């Protein structure tokens, strides 16, 4: 086997290239080596490319991109027992400390020592070979494609959000933001038993796609300059009912404000998306309505396996999410296109190196 492999590297803000990186070697007996087959481009990847940072996470040195990946096991450490060479797997890209309180509590997504792929300073998965602990890869059933396997990552965010919200049978759910995570969050809500899922977004083509992801109704919020009128329209579409659960997957201030206001008394509001660090928040609406207001960050114990099961059983169809596909050699072009095209792209998949 050669000593080096190709990798998609963010050199600095606005500068991506394909360059050689060393092929990693298994040193921990509980790790496996994977040949990466499919990788989705996440909005965070594009943000690092365009801005060079997300909040406190700043790209200070060249970083391999990618964290939504699937692959095939090509080598296993001596203590590995859960997977074998040839298994097709979805890769959970965040490795926590095994010793933090958060990890021991089953909330390892909150671990302060998390090493998350393609989050500075850690390299991502857009390479040929990648190492992962055996308990952070999930086997894919034979009928689940590697492309679907790459989409387990964003689907797991939707699973986590719905578990936090405790979505129940026949509830009405509102989802603000019909991007990949929003669409998948709505799809999981329906799979968990929600009776109605209404999507709110400013882009008509995304809203039309929402019917393939559990959406029963939608509202184009670009038609409403006043959030009170938007609240009234959502309630009207839900036959004069307010949603028991609201997910904001946009991070936009008007969506956050509207979501809090439209949520039913005693309901649950979950902040899934991120936007400006500070927003004008209608805090006076929370107390009298006794809303549960929750933050949501990535995914935790069991979410990845549940996401695979949702795909495997046909409860969630992730395939319509993919709008663009690229070969590995064209990865730079893929990122440039995503950065320029914005809302026209839902999800882009990059093949692994040949």
Dist. CA 87–CA 71, nearest whole Å: 8
* Range 136-157 average pLDDT: 99
Can you name the residues that pair with 197 across neighbouring β-strands? 173
Q: Sorting pLDDT into bands at 50, 70 and 90, what band is 40?
A: very high
The conformation of residue 62, written as its DSSP 8-state character, comes to -
pLDDT at 200: 99
pLDDT at 2: 86
* Range 52-68 average pLDDT: 96
Res 142 pLDDT > 80: yes
pLDDT at 252: 95
The share of the chain scoring above pLDDT 70, in percent, equals 100
* Range 140-148 average pLDDT: 99
With CA atoms as reference, report the closest residue to 203 among 184, 232, 178: 178
* Range 4-13 average pLDDT: 98
pLDDT at 302: 97
pLDDT at 3: 94
Q: What is the pLDDT of residues 66-83, one digit of tens each?
A: 999 999 999 999 999 999
Q: Sorting pLDDT into bands at 50, 70 and 90, what band is 7?
A: very high
CA 153 to the chain's CA centroid: 5
* Range 347-351 average pLDDT: 99
pLDDT at 342: 75
Q: Which residues contact 196 (CB under 8 A, 6 or more apart)?
A: 171, 172, 173, 216, 217, 238, 243
DSSP notation for 81-142? -S--TT-EEEE--EE--SSSHHHHTT-GGG-TT-EETTSTTS--S-BSEEEEEGGGEEEPPT
pLDDT at 47: 94
pLDDT at 46: 96
Dist. CA 87–CA 106, nearest whole Å: 26
Q: Sorting pLDDT into bands at 50, 70 and 90, what band is 343?
A: confident
Q: What is the pLDDT of residues 164-223, one digit of tens each?
A: 999 999 999 999 999 999 999 999 999 999 999 999 999 999 999 999 999 999 999 999
Structural domains of the chain, ranges and CATH numbers in brackets: 4-139+318-351 (3.90.180.10), 156-295 (3.40.50.720)
DSSP notation for 257-326? HHHHHHSPTT-EEEE-S---S-----GGGHHHHT-EEEE--S--TTHHHHHHHHHHTTSS--GGGEEEEE
What is the rounded average pLDDT for all residues in the chain? 97
| 172-176 and 196-201 beta bridge pairing | parallel
Res 60 pLDDT > 80: yes
Determine the 3-state secondary structure of 225 from DSSP. coil
* Range 83-111 average pLDDT: 98
């Amino acid at each position: 086997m050669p000593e080096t492999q190709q990798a998609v590297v963010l050199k600095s803000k606005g500068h991506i290239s394909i360059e050689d990186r060393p092929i990693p070697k298994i040193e921990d007996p509980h790790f496996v080596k994977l040949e990466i087959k499919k990788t989705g481009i996440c909005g965070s990847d594009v943000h690092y490319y365009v801005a060079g940072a997300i909040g406190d996470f700043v790209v200070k040195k060249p970083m391999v991109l990618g964290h939504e990946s699937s692959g095939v096991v090509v080598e296993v450490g001596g203590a590995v027992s859960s997977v074998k060479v040839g298994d097709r797997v979805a890769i959970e890209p965040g490795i926590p400390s095994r010793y933090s309180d958060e990890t021991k509590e089953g909330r390892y997504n909150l671990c302060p020592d998390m090493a998350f792929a393609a989050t500075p300073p850690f390299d991502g998965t857009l390479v040929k070979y990648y190492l992962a602990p055996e308990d952070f890869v999930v086997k894919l059933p034979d009928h689940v494609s590697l492309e679907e396997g790459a989409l387990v990552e964003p689907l797991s965010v939707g699973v986590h959000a719905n578990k936090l919200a405790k979505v129940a049978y026949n509830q009405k759910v509102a989802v603000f933001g019909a991007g990949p995570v929003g669409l998948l969050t709505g799809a999981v809500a329906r799979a968990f038993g929600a009776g109605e899922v209404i999507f709110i977004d400013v882009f008509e083509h995304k809203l039309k796609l929402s019917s393939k992801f559990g959406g029963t109704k939608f509202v184009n919020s670009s038609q409403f300059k006043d959030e009170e009128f938007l609240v009234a329209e959502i309630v009207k579409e839900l036959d004069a009912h307010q949603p028991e659960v609201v997910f904001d997957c946009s991070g936009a201030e008007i969506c956050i404000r509207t979501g809090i206001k439209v949520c039913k008394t005693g309901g649950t509001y979950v902040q899934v998306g991120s936007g400006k660090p500070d927003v004008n928040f209608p805090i006076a609406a929370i107390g009298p309505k006794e809303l549960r207001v929750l933050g949501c960050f990535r995914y935790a114990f069991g979410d990845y396996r549940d996401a695979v099961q949702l795909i495997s059983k046909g409860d969630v169809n992730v395939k319509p999410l993919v709008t663009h596909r690229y070969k590995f050699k064209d990865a730079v072009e893929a990122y440039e296109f995503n950065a320029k095209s914005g809302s026209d792209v839902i999800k882009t998949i990059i093949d692994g190196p040949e």
